Chain A
Amino acid sequence: MRGGKLIRYILMRLLQAVPVVLGVVVLNFLLLQLAPGDAATVLAGEAGGAPPEYVEQLRSRFGLDKPVLVQLVVYLKNILLLDLGFSFRNNAPVLGLILDRLWPTLLLMGATLIVSVGGGVTLGVLAAIWVRTWRDHLISVVAVVAYATPLFWVGLMLILVFSIRLDWFPTSGMEDVVAFNEGWKRVVDIAHHLVLPTVTLSLFYLALYARLMRATVLEQRGAEYATTARAKGLTERAITLRHVLRNALLPIVTMAGVQVGALLGGSVVVETVFAWPGLGQLAFQSLFARDFNLLLGIFFLSACVVVLVNLVVDVIYVLLDPRIRVGGNT
């Protein structure tokens, strides 16, 4: 019964996500109208002092001469048909461009989520178990420092130490293109390239999770239900693993949902530092090229990702916490 309800809930949430995503698209569309210059002026500018007639011609070709509202309606209609338009800068359909860049970004984000949540939770629990010993203090100090380190700087320092000085990892890119690796060798190569960007992007959230987890485990160990478990004759270890851990994971799950939005932002920086061929870099380039169709497409897609991840997080929450009721219709 619960399973059926859950599926209904997921479908309902997906339906409800549509207006949110469209809202993000509309907001960004309108904001971009405020930006100085458009694709036509940029292209014309690059052509080198092109005559105004040429600019006008470009505008009408791109549909930029129509009223803003008309452009918006046309754009929304296209988006609903999954037509994200054409990037005149790259001379290619936006959807194709984005899909090409999507998987490197998803790979980076996925690896980061695993490392930060997994590492953070483990370190946090260990620090709580070792509370007020030197090992706890060590974890706490490292976490506090990592929590204050700028992302781009960590990336550069890692490159300096591990690529330039020690030559353990490559400085940039996602794979060794000239090596033409295939199959398993290619996987290993990509994994090798993935290490430094993942560490860079993970560090901040790893520190955050470790601190959050330590605090929550300590707090929950003082909760009354933990005393009950103690009165039952359980060992401290069993109390932590069986009772406290699951309760302490709830805030982590919430936080992981928040992290995903931030990861997309962080990937702009990390992809720039490591020349990782992902969406973040693409967004950055399209912004400077005033390639608004491409930029809007990326915003649309990232809104979709955030909404989807929030849904996944809520479903995990429902599975973890029986107090939350799904499908309660009002």
Chain B
Amino acid sequence: MTGSSRVADDRSTHDDLVLQIRSLSVALPAWADRSLAVKEVSLTIGKGETLCVVGESGSGKSVMARAILRLLPGPHVRIVGGQVLLEGEDVAQADARRMRQIRSGRIAMVFQEPMVALNPLMTVGRQIEEILEVHTDLSRAARRRRVVATFEDVRLPDPERIFGAYPHELSGGQRQRVMIAMSLVLEPKLIIADEPTTALDVTTEAQILTLLKELQQRHGTALLFITHNFGVVAEIADRVAVMRHGEVVEYGDADEVLIRPKHPYTRSLIDAVPSLVPRKRVSEPEKAPAEPILTVRGLEKTYGGRTTSLQWLARLVPRLSRGSRGAVHAINHIDLDIIRGSAVALVGESGSGKSTLARCLIGLERADAGSVTVAGTEIVGLNRRAWRPLRSRIQMVFQDPFASLNPRTKVGDIIARGAILQGEGASAAMAQAHKLLELVGLEARAAERYPNEFSGGQRQRIGIARALAVKPDILIADEPVSALDVSVQKQVLDLLDDLRRRFGLTMLFITHDLRVAAHVCEEIVVLKNGRIVERGATADIFADPQHDYTRTLLASVPGRDWQIQLGGKTPIVAK
């Protein structure tokens, strides 16, 4: 046990403790890359307290959380040592019957993805009522009243209607509120929340975090909160445990750990969180003439309402449609000028049309109306052949490093292909690919290997090298770091920033994360429901947002105050 953890334990007297985890170990199956998912972890949670367990993917934080309720998958992942004491009773030794009483009754759980954590074929009301059916002898009517009251408690609108709704009929935020109601209904001592806001948009995330804090105060429930996001930790934690490779490396009060981290790993994680301090323009804007390299005018794109001339044929053998899909106006009359050499972030939540806009610009999607010119050439309505020479002007870095590289092609061929298509000789293209690999921080030898031999961050570097191989003027990056761990995120962002300056690239950066936007872009365009609601210099927008939505977005960024405190810089962010 580390010194800091002993200090933390001493703080709470025994009577106040809800949960005590004592050197808990969880085994992984024989074929895994390490033998223990969780290695001798000791933690305590007091009444009404929030303990955040932070870690990157593979740190064992989720396995640890599930081990408490013994929800580990299969016979291979199992508890092999230690105790989980719930008010003195060892849950790890409880028999199946006692375990069922504890689940939901004493310890409840909120999962990351409410869409898959709820049974799609059962109304949400029924799914919660079922808990009361198992654990209490309330009458049917009383059960219903209790569920509806809990729905009110978690601020669900029209709880009677929601009782009879199916999961797919609710929004993401509503589904997570239902999950929280499910965990609350029996007033348990402890709620374990496993990344409960990761799948949500940032504004919804802020609402759910507020709700959790409020409920916790009202009910005095202890909360074990699993997350990878230090911003969220700063918002909600009383105490923090940082996990790496199945071990707790740092454990202590939130103020201590967040402001004065002791362990180098914690420090590196905190350093990797992009600061909210907006960057200044790199090049002197006065000197460069305001020559737009990319001009967008009145761009429109609507999805759905397809098959026009073939509708008669489609009616012959109709198929059932899953869920509702009406026509969606994905982007709605967008006007945009991008100045050569600038870095512009397109910021928006899901459904804002930011990705559709990017796809229209790169020719992956055909715009319905409007005009886009790249260095004076109109691209809307061009066919594939006419696009080809333009490919060397505008390129894209994709979101998911695991999906964006063909698993059956060698890395060298992946990178060289673009240059070959532009008329480069095969050996020259390969030589260039080797150089590019070194440029993005990999070895030239990597060219001979297949994508599956690389980690997510390395793959994203390969994706960047592929885009650079045709020497583009404009680089569109579509959420290039959102699938990566925090520590890797920072490296990839810095790489992009460095390359951009070195080659004088114009960069269009698509992101949902204002932090990331502030870190790499001098300009921000905020999108909502397919429209631009605000645009301007990053510093100006952060200091004085004009639009309500921008203000909400800024206010929703988790851990704002903490970062200001941490940086010790003047709060540029408007309150």
Contacts and interface: CB of A to CB of B under 8 A. Distances in A.
Question: Is there a contact between chains A and B in the complex with CB atoms less than 8 Å apart?
Answer: yes
B324 A328 contact: yes
Contacts of A233: 100-105, 131, 134-135
Contacts of B102: 233
Contact of B320 (A223, A231, A235, A326): A326
B562 interface: no
A185 interface: no
Contacts of A229: 119, 130
Interface string A221-263: 0111101111111110010001100110000000000000000
B423 interface: no
Nearest to B314: A330
B103 A224 contact: no
Contact of A16 (B100, B113, B318): B318
Contacts of A321: 120-121
Contacts of A326: 320
A232 B119 contact: no
B100 A323 contact: no
B121 A246 contact: yes
A224 B305 CA distance: 33
B117 A323 contact: no
Contact of B168 (A235, A317, A322): A322
How big is chain A's contact interface, by range? Answer: 35 or more
Q: Which of A227, A318, A328 is the most central at the interface, judged by chain B CB atoms within 10 Å of its CB?
A: A227
Given A232-B103, A328-B321, A247 B131 contact: no
Contacts of B166: 322-323
B289 interface: no
B121 A232 contact: no
B134 A232 contact: yes
Contacts of A231: 69, 71, 103-104, 108-109
Contacts of A247: 119-121
A312 interface: no
Interface in B316-341: 316-318, 320-325
Q: Which of B121, B168, B324, B325 is the most central at the interface, judged by chain A CB atoms within 10 Å of its CB?
A: B121
Contacts of A314: 320
B170 interface: no
Nearest to A315: B320
Contacts of B119: 225, 228-229, 243, 247
A232 B182 contact: yes
Contacts, number: 96
A61 interface: no
B288 interface: no
Given A228-B118, A230-B71, A20 B101 contact: no
A34 interface: no
B122 interface: yes
Nearest to B118: A225
B311 A330 contact: yes
A324 interface: yes
Q: Which of B111, B135, B320 is the most central at the interface, judged by chain A CB atoms within 10 Å of its CB?
A: B320
B320 A317 contact: yes
Interface in A290-330: 314, 317-318, 320-326, 328, 330
Contacts of B116: 223-225
B111 A227 contact: yes
Contact of A227 (B71, B101, B322): B71
B315 interface: yes
A107 B433 CA distance: 69
Interface in A41-97: none
B3 interface: no
Given A232-B104, A232-B182, A320 B135 contact: no
A5 interface: no
Contacts of A19: 316
Given A20-B316, A222-B73, A243-B122, A324 B322 contact: yes
A238 B127 CA distance: 13
Nearest to B100: A233
A188 to B, nearest CB: 41
Nearest to A15: B315
A135 interface: no
Interface in B238-270: none
A8 interface: no
A247 B120 CA distance: 8
A28 B385 CA distance: 44
A16 B108 contact: no
Given A231-B109, A322-B168, A323-B168, A225 B320 contact: no
Contact of A324 (B134, B305, B321): B321
A13 B121 contact: no
A91 to B, nearest CB: 37
Nearest to A247: B121
A238 B307 CA distance: 45
A232 B131 contact: yes
A225 B117 contact: yes
B315 A325 contact: no
Contacts of B121: 246-247, 320-322
Nearest to A227: B71
Q: Which of B135, B305, B318 is the most central at the interface, judged by chain A CB atoms within 10 Å of its CB?
A: B318
Given A322-B121, A322-B166, A224 B111 contact: yes
B100 A234 contact: yes
Nearest to B131: A232
B305 A330 contact: yes
A296 B323 CA distance: 40
A322 B166 CA distance: 7
Contacts of B104: 231-233
A302 to B, nearest CB: 17
Given A20-B316, A324-B320, A232 B130 contact: yes
A225 B117 CA distance: 4
Contacts of A322: 120-121, 166, 168
A325 B324 contact: yes
Given A16-B315, A20-B316, A225-B120, A235 B100 contact: yes
Contacts of A323: 120, 166, 168, 322-323
A325 B325 CA distance: 10
Nearest to A230: B71
B264 to A, nearest CB: 35
A247 B130 CA distance: 17
Interface string B160-197: 00000010100000000000001000000000000000
Query: Which 6 residue pairs across A and B have the least CB separation, nearest first?
Result: A233-B103, A233-B100, A224-B116, A225-B119, A322-B166, A231-B109
10 contacts: A222-B73, A224-B116, A225-B119, A228-B119, A231-B104, A232-B131, A243-B122, A318-B320, A320-B121, A323-B323
Interface of B: 69, 71, 73, 100-105, 108-109, 111, 113, 116-122, 130-131, 134-135, 166, 168, 182, 305, 307, 311, 315-318, 320-325
Given A320-B121, A326-B320, 5 more contacts: A16-B318, A224-B113, A233-B103, A321-B120, A328-B325
